[in-house]
Amino acid sequence: MSKQSTLVGAAVLALVLQPAIVQAQSYPEKPVRLVVAFPSGGAADLVARQIAQRLTEQWRQQVIVDNRSGAGGVIGTEIASRGAPDGYTVLFGSSSTFATGPVLQKNLPYHPQRDFAPITLTTLIPNIIVAHGAVPVRTVKELIDYAKSRPKQLSYASNGTATASHIAGELLRHRAGFEWIHVPYKGAGPAITDVVGGHVQFLIGAISTSLPHMRAGKIRGVAVTGLQRSSAIPEVPTVAESGFPGFEVIQWFGLLAPAKTPAPIIQRWNTAVVEMHRDATFADQLKTRGLEPSTNTPKEFGAFIQKEQAMWTKVFKEIGISL
């Protein structure tokens, strides 16, 4: 290719990109909707609202959290996938809707890669197994023994079918060889309410959701599902160190926009959120709740999602988990 042709091609590309660049420079010019596929009161809602508040202050335009819960996050994710690709609809996505869910549920009304443009990872969340205060269980061994003595009589609440909390419960059931009943909810908020109320004996969910109730003595931490203990509750051991080496189920959250959203707008979001997470005050607000801040580039986030799907496909096939 001649030098002249190269220059002409570059000029054409600049003309094509210029409207999007100009749009991104003035963006946002009106309120932005941040769709959260889970109800208020859970970890997803907590992190999304902190991000929305920071962006509202920085951009001087409201970033409004829109909770659209149901079907383990599927309903809200589908709604976001149909949003206009103009940067004014953004999804607060999760591992449930982009990693475990697509592997277990083959007929989802959205496609994780085709319908969305990745922005950035935001949070890593080890789950915790907690017991209602009246249940005489303090360790994983006691939980297993208690469940085996009461086959199919115990129940555990999750954030919904195919969510990380559901997967953790099924992995433990499979590896320990006991039975308990899965009770899926629309999100962590309704689930913790029923466990605190004694309607369900156990909960598997984000540490941030359980922590206030643990401190109030209403529920008891049994084990964390990450490989490392949480700095927020270092006294609670991991499942891995409780007789199941290598046991790890980590939930994550991230931001995605409808496919074909202009790259400059995607980058504007990425830059703002990455800088936000570098702020010590913001990061500490997450860490004290058992949440680990984590960001990456749009390209890295896309590769991360594909890697997660491949990993869970292999795990589910090996142990025979299906819906």
The answer to whether 205 and 159 have CB atoms below 8 angstroms apart is yes
Q: What is the mean pLDDT of residues 19-35?
A: 82
Q: What are the helix (H) ranges across the chain? A: 3-26, 43-59, 74-81, 95, 101-104, 140-148, 164-176, 188-196, 207-215, 263-278, 280-287, 298-319
Residue 189, pLDDT > 90, answer: no
What confidence tens digit (pLDDT) does each residue in 72-82 have?
A: 899 999 999 99
What confidence tens digit (pLDDT) does each residue in 201-246 have?
A: 999 998 988 999 999 999 999 999 999 999 889 999 999 999 999 9
The encoded tokens of residue 259 equal 């496919």
Give the whole-angstrom CA distance, residue 317 versus residue 223: 25
Q: What is the mean pLDDT of residues 55-62?
A: 97
Backbone angles phi, psi at 163, to 5 degrees: -80, 170
> What band does 151 get if pLDDT is binned at 50, 70 and 90?
confident
104 or 142: whose pLDDT is higher? 142
Q: What is the pTM of this model?
A: 0.81
Residue 304, pLDDT > 70, answer: yes
What pLDDT does residue 315 have? 84
